[in-house]
Amino acid sequence: MDWLSIFNLALGELISPITAVFVMCAIGLSVHFGYTGLLNFGQAAFAAVGAYGMAISILTFKVPLLGAVAIGLVASAVFALILGIPTLRLRADYLAIVTIATSEVFRYLMTTIGFAPVTGGSNGLSQFGAEFWAMNPIPVGEYALGPFSYRHDQLFIIILAWLLVAVCAVLVWLLMRSPWGRVLKGIREDEDAVRSLGKNVFAYKIQALILGGLFASLGGMVFVLNLSNVQPQSWGTTITFMIWTVLLLGGAATVLGPIVGGMVFFVLLSLTQGIMSGLVDAGLLPFLTAPQVGQIRFLLIGLALMLLVIFRPQGIFGNKKELQFNG
């Protein structure tokens, strides 16, 4: 078993663009759930709406990249309004049901053959990234970064993705120390009390839903630019639950939580994959085959999430004091 390559691979996940994508989605979810108390189980759909919004604008409507990004973000905001207006006046659990259903509806709409000329159906869309990659200011070549070596285009998207993460985190930090953030936290605790103090709770919930959705949509765009294609099956409920794991791992109502949570999650995922495949190859796990390892590690992640919620519900960064009284 090649320990060095296993650790190197795991370490690489720390700054991989995919980690950044999940971090962005988790930051959005922290605005929804951690600060406002909205149970959104459709975060993957917010990412997908952004990704499809951008890709379709470029391919079908020949919009330049920045315009396409803007259209993706507007689509995400509209999606939040469609979800929020009927459900945010109701109790929190209704939003949970509606989001999980809507995200599946969106995924199936994108798969439908009828829309295939625009959405690409189940094959999805590709070749929308030319303008993006042309924007890369980094000269062609290989760049060493510690033990890793990246091509110029890989380096470009890594830097861009983490810059976006930084922007999202700073925005959340600024907002949550402002009176606006205070109202959100009040709504999380008891929305009737906040209403009785003269705050338009519904408007705040809509704003929070849109904001958190925009972060996820940015993440979705980075995700598809990195993969160079957008496919409906990338946005299943599994993705939503992985985002939840990242969020809960780090701490739901914290700024740094989603970032560290994302890093820890993907490093662990890679480590378990590497170590278990190694053990299977060495014949130390005779009851497992190599393809099963991929499934087993998600099982282990699920177990880890359960243990986490039971023994450290506040996550890595959460304030223990905040949870002690929580009854």
Task: Enumerate binding residues for other proteins (CB under 8 A).
Answer: 171, 174-175, 178-183, 185-186, 188-190, 192-201, 207, 211, 321-322, 325-326
80 Cβ contact list (under 8 Å, min separation 6): 46, 206, 209, 210, 213
Minimum separation from the CB atom of position 192 to other proteins (A): 6
**Closest CB to other proteins among 188 and 297?**
188
Q: If phi over 0 gives left and psi between -120 and 50 gives alpha, with beta otherwise, what is residue 141?
A: left
**Closest CB to other proteins among 184 and 216?**
184
Minimum separation from the CB atom of position 78 to other proteins (A): 17
179 Cβ contact list (under 8 Å, min separation 6): none
**Closest CB to other proteins among 84 and 232?**
84
Q: How many other C-beta atoms can be found within 10 angstroms of the C-beta atom of residue 260?
A: 18
Minimum separation from the CB atom of position 323 to other proteins (A): 8
85-89 long-range Cβ contacts below 8 angstroms, 24+ apart: 85/206, 88/38, 88/202, 88/205, 88/206, 88/209, 89/202
| End-to-end CA gap in the chain | 48
Minimum separation from the CB atom of position 204 to other proteins (A): 9
**Closest CB to other proteins among 152 and 182?**
182
Minimum separation from the CB atom of position 237 to other proteins (A): 29
Query: Quick check: 301 and 308 in contact, CB under 8 A?
Result: no
**Closest CB to other proteins among 125 and 253?**
253
Q: Distance between CA 57 and CA 249 in Å, rounded?
A: 35
**Closest CB to other proteins among 14 and 171?**
171
Sign of CA dihedral 260, 53, 205, 84: negative
**Closest CB to other proteins among 169 and 280?**
169
Query: Quick check: 169 and 259 in contact, CB under 8 A?
Result: yes
Minimum separation from the CB atom of position 66 to other proteins (A): 21
Name the residue among 206, 203, 213, 208 with its Cα closest to residue 81: 206
Name the residue among 238, 214, 161, 205 with its Cα closest to residue 49: 214
Minimum separation from the CB atom of position 89 to other proteins (A): 11
